[in-house]
Structure 1
């Protein structure tokens, strides 16, 4: 949701905000996110990655609370919901544009659903080959920010990619924390995440780079495009990023990374809200 909100507030900054498009984008993104969680639960249970050695929250298929068949039904329902609101979103967001643009954004939505499923489910899931970080950066950062902005304004500016990079890197940080927490079980289950490939020590350095570069990208955006001191309001979120980063680099036991997934997600949302409030205040 942070990516969608970021794209929306940036469109407001440039005078092209569309309320219906933004609401539909948020709803569609949430449907796809829930579908992704269902598919991840199902896929990891089928691959044997979800087992008694898993550190994170209990999974429903692996624990027997939901059967694989029931989870498949849930995924089908989410696909239908995602397509229904997604098509409506693209129709609203491409009014006045040509058919190829409509088809392009429709294709983006379908690719997002396929990517959500193929992360851990199906044959040769890319999450098991270490490409999850790239997918999260694209589908949680660049696509929602730039896509929402375009569907609101019908244009794209180069500086727009700076806050999109910030959201993408912070979101990738959440996945990296997840993978640092699960490193032992992933390694034993044949899930070759970036963390498994580089090891815990380098993964902490990688995580620090994700957060620091994300912070610098947002600062650079305001330096280049800022029009009011209010737009620096998002800096209030940075002490939370840095505090957690210091604590993360001191962790030795993998299971202790778990609370920081929620913290980073919420801090990213706070960063986005402050970013948006700063833009709104600069226009008041």
Structure 2
């Protein structure tokens, strides 16, 4: 192992053994998969008094598997295109630092997709086959995120697709499979979650701006520049909380949802963590805190819905 590779692994506190495969999942991004399922299911419980544990668990695991598989495709295709190297941060490092064969990473991602498909078939049997069409389209877009001739992640539309699919679509599906109905309120409450999920990707692209620019990507962070991208990230947080307050005022969300504002401190930590930083390693805490902001906000939102039902 080269000295540079060793130094990077030590700086990122990367361990061998099981940790190699755990990093491949990029666990700090999995909040984008389980939070929407939780929120959509809790909204179904509150509005329709329905909670089918079997469908909740099937949707939860399918969503996590699809997100993890997408991360693996990202790892594989970025390596194939020469974007990742031994000094890259924010990746699993499974290929470039741990020496796992690229084809092994690709096969594991396809296996996760396969298991998610089986769970999807079960969900369709238990609810509606319309879910199959939406699920198949979502998985295909997940593959195109870093696969295909023009990866979505290399364009200014990555945040939009991530927020829409992992936020709004997953919340809507989670609600629909429980109730077999759809309402505008479900779509509305999904918007702040979609924003936070898009923010996770934006934070990732702010951190990787210099390397992405060298490799020809055209992300929002690159088009805006680092300072303006950080400001844009802050404005996204502001809009998400403003919408939350509006939905509470309109009665779409219960008063208990004021609890979500406890996550503002973590959102502020994100912005402070990015300001004045230019090196990827320096920005890693801010990137991680973006995922934590979504986790805290989403958990408190789902919990507030549950409280409004029980109290």
What 5-or-longer segments of structure 1 have no aligned partner? 95-101
Q: Does 1:216 align with 2:242?
A: yes
Query: Hey, what's the Cα distance between the residues in 1 that align with 2:125 and 2:160?
Result: 28
Contact 2:192–2:243 (Cα < 8 Å) also in 1: yes
Query: Hey, what's the Cα distance between the residues in 2 that align with 1:226 and 1:113?
Result: 30
TM-score in terms of structure 1 length: 0.90
Structure 1 253/227 Cα, relative in aligned 2: closer, same or farther at 3 Å?
Answer: closer
Query: Hey, what's the Cα distance between the residues in 2 that align with 1:238 and 1:50?
Result: 33
- Which of 173, 179, 203 aligns to 1:147? It is 173
Moved over 4 A (4+): none
Aligned to 1:7: 40
Q: Deviations over 1:144-167 (max 9, x none)?
A: 111211111122222222321111
Q: CA deviation at 1:58?
A: 4.9
Contact 1:181–1:257 (Cα < 8 Å) also in 2: yes
Contact 1:36–1:116 (Cα < 8 Å) also in 2: yes
Q: Deviations over 1:210-259 (max 9, x none)?
A: 111111122222221257543322222223223433x0452332422211
Q: CA deviation at 1:274?
A: 1.5
Q: Deviations over 1:111-142 (max 9, x none)?
A: 22212221112322121222211211111111
Aligned to 1:97: none
- Which of 76, 91, 96 aligns to 1:42? It is 76
Q: CA deviation at 1:2?
A: 0.9
Query: Hey, what's the Cα distance between the residues in 1 that align with 2:192 and 2:254?
Result: 20
Q: Does 1:78 align with 2:105?
A: no
Q: CA deviation at 1:187?
A: 0.6
Structure number with higher relative contact order (C-alpha < 8 Å, ≥ 6 residues apart): 1
- Which of 21, 35, 51 aligns to 2:55? It is 21
Query: Hey, what's the Cα distance between the residues in 1 that align with 2:104 and 2:252?
Result: 50
Structure 1 164/226 Cα, relative in aligned 2: closer, same or farther at 3 Å?
Answer: closer
- Which of 242, 255, 258 aligns to 1:232? It is 258
Aligned to 2:142: 116
Equivalences for 1:147-226 in 2 at 5 Å?
A: 147-225=173-251
Structure 1 71/150 Cα, relative in aligned 2: closer, same or farther at 3 Å?
Answer: same
Aligned to 1:99: none
Query: Hey, what's the Cα distance between the residues in 2 that align with 1:34 and 1:227?
Result: 31
Query: Hey, what's the Cα distance between the residues in 1 that align with 2:206 and 2:54?
Result: 39
Aligned to 1:252: 277
Q: CA deviation at 1:87?
A: 1.4
Contact 1:159–1:221 (Cα < 8 Å) also in 2: no
Aligned to 1:31: 65
Secondary structure of residue in 2 paired with 1:163: helix
Q: CA deviation at 1:10?
A: 0.8
Query: Hey, what's the Cα distance between the residues in 2 that align with 1:124 and 1:281?
Result: 45
